[in-house]
Amino acid sequence: MNYQEAKKLWESAKDGTNGKPIAGRTRVVRINKCTFALRLCDTNILTFYANGDIMLCSGGWRTRLTKSRMNEHLEGVQVEQKNGLWYVGESIFFDGIIVNDGKVLNPVDPAEMEACKKQVDKLVREYIKGYTAHVMKHGVEMPSDGDCWSCRMTNAATGEPDVITGISHYLNHFEEKYYVPSLLVNAMQERSYGSPGVVWSWMKNDPKFREIEVPRILSAFFRPRKVALAECLKRGY
């Protein structure tokens, strides 16, 4: 898809305000008179400009569906995954990467991002180890108003921090060794346990279960966020 094709699709919509549906949860919308976008759910994953530039953005959702939708409508270039990182051609993918005529206009050196990803892997391992040691010593603590504001102000549907604060605040927790009770609760909710209250009770009362389940829950929580954290690390957030 290019600018002219996106414009034509939008013009064929019955209601331009809502855009033109083209697939499940995907539609073409108009940003302004000279800009159109392919929107997946609430994220403009491809933004088409009149000069032929196309900006890619995952909105933090590095999912198969996001990548698939991008690739369905990109021409001359594809988003590929290698070793847990997304690539566009020879460049590391990042939200805001721009392509035109199959070429990346603002590439990022893969070596830099791979180094940041390795650093994040290490930070996450150390944090989970420290968090587990903390709860083994002090027990599982209930969230309170004294918890990290960003961890408390989450989106109920996604478990993500409020978009104003973003994901980068986890890096501060890693550095400060701040083991936030609300973070563990968020991670539990994201696991979609059939009986979360029972799991919580077991963790509080059974040290052996706690020692196994806490690192498992936190690992699952941070795994899909590592690439975004690596990008934050690279940009100095």
* pLDDT on residue 157: 38
The last residue of one of the domains, among 49, 83, 108, is 108
Phi, psi of 6 (to 5 degrees): -65, -40
The last residue of one of the domains, among 57, 75, 108, is 108
Please state, in angstroms and rounded to a whole number, the distance separating the CA atoms of residues 171 and 203.
26
Helix (H) or strand (E) holding 142: none
* pLDDT on residue 166: 65
54 with 117, same domain: the answer is no
152 with 53, same domain: the answer is no
CA distances from 193 to 177, 178, 186, 198 (A): 27, 25, 12, 9
96 with 148, same domain: the answer is no
Q: Which domain holds residue 49?
A: 3-108
User: Which pTM does this prediction carry?
Assistant: 0.68
147 with 82, same domain: the answer is no
94 with 168, same domain: the answer is no
91 with 139, same domain: the answer is no
Total count of domains within the chain? 2
> What is the CA 107 to chain-centroid distance, rounded?
20
* pLDDT on residue 77: 95
Give mean pLDDT in consecutive 10-residue pieces for the chain, a chain of 237 residues. 95 90 93 95 94 92 90 95 87 91 90 89 97 96 89 53 60 95 90 84 94 96 86 79
Please state, in angstroms and rounded to a whole number, the distance separating the CA atoms of residues 74 and 183.
37
7 with 66, same domain: the answer is yes
167 with 216, same domain: the answer is yes
* pLDDT on residue 154: 54
